[in-house]
């Protein structure tokens, strides 16, 4: 499997899961456009690590909730790379911008979720396809549990937006199939060095202890590198026959029965 010399754009790749994806692609000598919204220092640090791994790239700023800025990001990619082989839609706003229960969520918060996910993906996937050779890869990051359940009430905006995003993955997969461009979604479970680390310490401890005790059968949380490995796998030629799918990369957490204590399920 060789991705050497290919070109990728990962939105939200200055930190967290996006950074993990960028670095795993860089290990395969993929040149990376490191996108950020506000933290330029983090983007530069990620680009430095990309270069240390033997790849190259550049940083690009933009707000993915604004269509004109999405177009500008891809214009820059075309100018710098000339083409795009891999596009990963990963960016989303910080939790306060959308995290509110159904009876309290404002239209501004609702729009922040949808503008950054389904609307941004509609624009970005078309922009990517326009500069992507046949056989390219488009991947969206989702949270499959949140798009089909309702227990985490303040996730209603993002969960609904992710559900729309997952539906769009299927439509784009069909639209681009004749060109050999695959379109898939990856759904990580709880992941270290991600939005989880912005939660209060006691909440983080509760989540870690719960998953380490067996709710994730592999008894740990995921890492950005774990998610990056899945992206590399789906960018390989060996994955060219897989499209329109939501792939859970969560150590088996999505296999657990929420109605039964984990101690009974895994022994």
Going by the DSSP 8-state scheme, the letter that residue 53 receives in this structure is T
> Looking at residue 182, which CATH number applies to its domain?
3.40.50.720
Q: Is residue 60 domain-resident?
A: yes
- The answer to whether 35 and 13 have CB atoms below 8 angstroms apart is yes
Please state the domain count of the chain. Answer: 1
pLDDT in tens, 15-32: 999 999 999 999 999 999
**∠ Cα 188 191 197 (to 5°):** 140
If you compute the radius of gyration of the chain from its CA atoms, what whole number of angstroms results? Answer: 18
Q: Are 224 and 191 in contact (CB under 8 A)?
A: yes
- Quickly state the pLDDT bin for 1 (edges 50, 70, 90): low
Assess whether pLDDT exceeds 80 at residue 197. no
Residue 65, token pair as written in the block: 């909730």
Residue-wise pLDDT for 128-173, tens only, equals 999 999 999 999 999 877 778 888 888 899 999 999 999 999 999 9
The 10s digit of each residue's pLDDT in 205-253 is: 888 888 887 788 888 899 999 999 999 999 999 999 999 999 999 999 8
Sort residue 136 into left (φ over 0), alpha (ψ -120 to 50) or beta: beta
Please report whether residue 210 resides in a domain.
Answer: no
- Residue 255 predicted with pLDDT over 90: no
The pLDDT of residue 136 is 98
Range of the domain at 231: 7-198+224-249
The single-letter DSSP state of residue 216 is: S
The span from the CA of 99 to the CA of 105, in Å, is 8
In a domain, 48, yes or no: yes
Q: Do β-strands 86-89 and 7-10 pair in parallel, antiparallel, or remain unpaired?
A: parallel
Position 110 confidence tier, pLDDT thresholds 50, 70, 90? very high
pLDDT band, residue 256 (cuts 50/70/90): confident
Question: pLDDT > 90: what percent of the chain?
Answer: 73
- pLDDT value at position 143? 86
Asked, for residue 213, whether it belongs to a domain, the answer is no
Residue 208 is assigned to a structural domain of this protein: no
Q: Are 180 and 240 in contact (CB under 8 A)?
A: yes
204 within some domain: no
User: Has residue 203 been placed in a domain?
Assistant: no
Res 206: pLDDT: 86
In a domain, 191, yes or no: yes
**Backbone φ and ψ of 258, nearest 5°:** -70, -10
């Amino acid at each position: 499997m060789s991705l050497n010399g290919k070109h990728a754009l990962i939105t939200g790749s200055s930190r967290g899961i996006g950074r993990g994806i960028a670095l795993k692609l860089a290990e395969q000598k993929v040149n990376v456009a490191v996108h950020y919204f506000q933290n330029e220092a983090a983007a530069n640090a990620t680009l430095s690590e990309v270069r240390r791994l033997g790849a190259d790239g550049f940083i690009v700023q933009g707000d993915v909730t604004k269509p004109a800025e999405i177009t500008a990001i891809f214009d820059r990619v075309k100018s710098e790379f000339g083409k795009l082989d891999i596009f990963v839609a990963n960016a989303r706003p910080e939790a306060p911008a959308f995290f509110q229960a159904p009876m309290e969520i404002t239209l501004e918060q609702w729009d922040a979720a949808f503008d950054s996910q389904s609307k941004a993906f509609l624009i970005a996937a078309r922009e990517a396809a326009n500069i992507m050779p046949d056989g390219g890869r488009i991947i969206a990051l989702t949270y499959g549990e949140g798009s089909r359940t309702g227990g985490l009430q303040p996730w209603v905006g993002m969960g609904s937006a992710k559900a729309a995003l997952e539906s769009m993955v299927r439509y784009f997969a069909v639209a681009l199939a004749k060109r050999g461009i695959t379109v898939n979604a990856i759904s990580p479970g709880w992941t270290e060095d991600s939005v989880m680390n912005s939660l209060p310490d006691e909440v983080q401890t509760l989540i870690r202890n719960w998953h380490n005790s067996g709710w994730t059968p592999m008894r740990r949380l995921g890492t950005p590198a774990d998610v990056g490995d899945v992206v590399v796998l789906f960018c390989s030629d060996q994955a060219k026959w897989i499209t329109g799918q939501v792939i859970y990369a969560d150590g088996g957490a999505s296999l657990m029965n929420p109605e039964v204590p984990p101690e009974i399920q895994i022994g």
